[in-house]
Structure 1
Amino acid sequence: MNICSLVVHTQPEKGAIVSQRLEKFTGVEVHGGTDVGKLIVTIEDEGEEISPVSDTMNALRDVEGVVSTVLIYHYGGEESMEEMKREVN
């Protein structure tokens, strides 16, 4: 399992619409900041048939209205290492 937290910067007047666009991504949740254009975002990848967290983070940068993204926190548990070992072997 991978979980990360980001601050996604937008123009303040575009915070709400960008929030809606981001939440269309699988595993993405917006927790606040829409009124000031600094969205608090989490991405969770449980190893299902969804893009890895890194792919999702990169895709968020390309969303219309996003000015920049800043990674704040990342957790990759034991589950992630086990999956990686299985893929390599």
Structure 2
Amino acid sequence: MNICSAIVHAKPEMAGVVRTDLERFPGVEIHGGVEEGKLIVTLEGENDDALADTMAEFNDVTGVINTVMIYHYCAEESADEEVSK
């Protein structure tokens, strides 16, 4: 399990559109900050590379100024935990 949180800085007038575009990425949730143009985002994915690639793609979204990772959590699940899901 890999989870990251990030702040996506967007042009304030584009923040609503940016939110919609970011929510189309798999594993992405927006938790606030749209009004200020500083979107609070979490990403969940299979591995570090996938999350890094997704965050890099955020910067290609029209209206995004930049993306800053705030937190990263990585834990390997045991075979028993995977079976119980």
In the superposition, the TM-score normalised over structure 1's length comes to 0.80
Q: How does 1:64-79 map to 2 (within 5 A)?
A: 64-79=62-77
1:1-89 superposed matches below 5 A: 1-45=1-45, 47=46, 52-79=50-77
RMSD across aligned positions (CA) = 1.8
Paired with 1:25 and 1:71, the residues of 2 have a C-alpha distance of 16
**1:25-75 CA-partner distances (Å, limit 9, x unpaired):** 000111111111000000001x3xxx8111111111111110011100001
Partner Cα distance (1:15, 1:28) in 2: 16
Q: Which runs of 4+ in 1 moved over 3 A?
A: none
CA distance in 2, matches of 1:43, 1:6: 8
Question: What is the CA-CA distance between 1:78 and the residue it aligns to?
Answer: 2.0
- SS of the aligned residue for 1:6 comes to strand
Amino acid at match of 1:69: T
Give secondary structure in 1 for the equivalent of 2:34.
Answer: coil
- In the alignment, structure 2 segments of 5+ residues that lack a partner are 79-85
SS of structure 1 residue aligned to 2:18: helix
CA distance in 1, matches of 2:11, 2:63: 7
> 1:12 offset after TM fit, Å?
1.1
Paired residue total: 77
Structure 1: gaps (5+ residues): 83-89
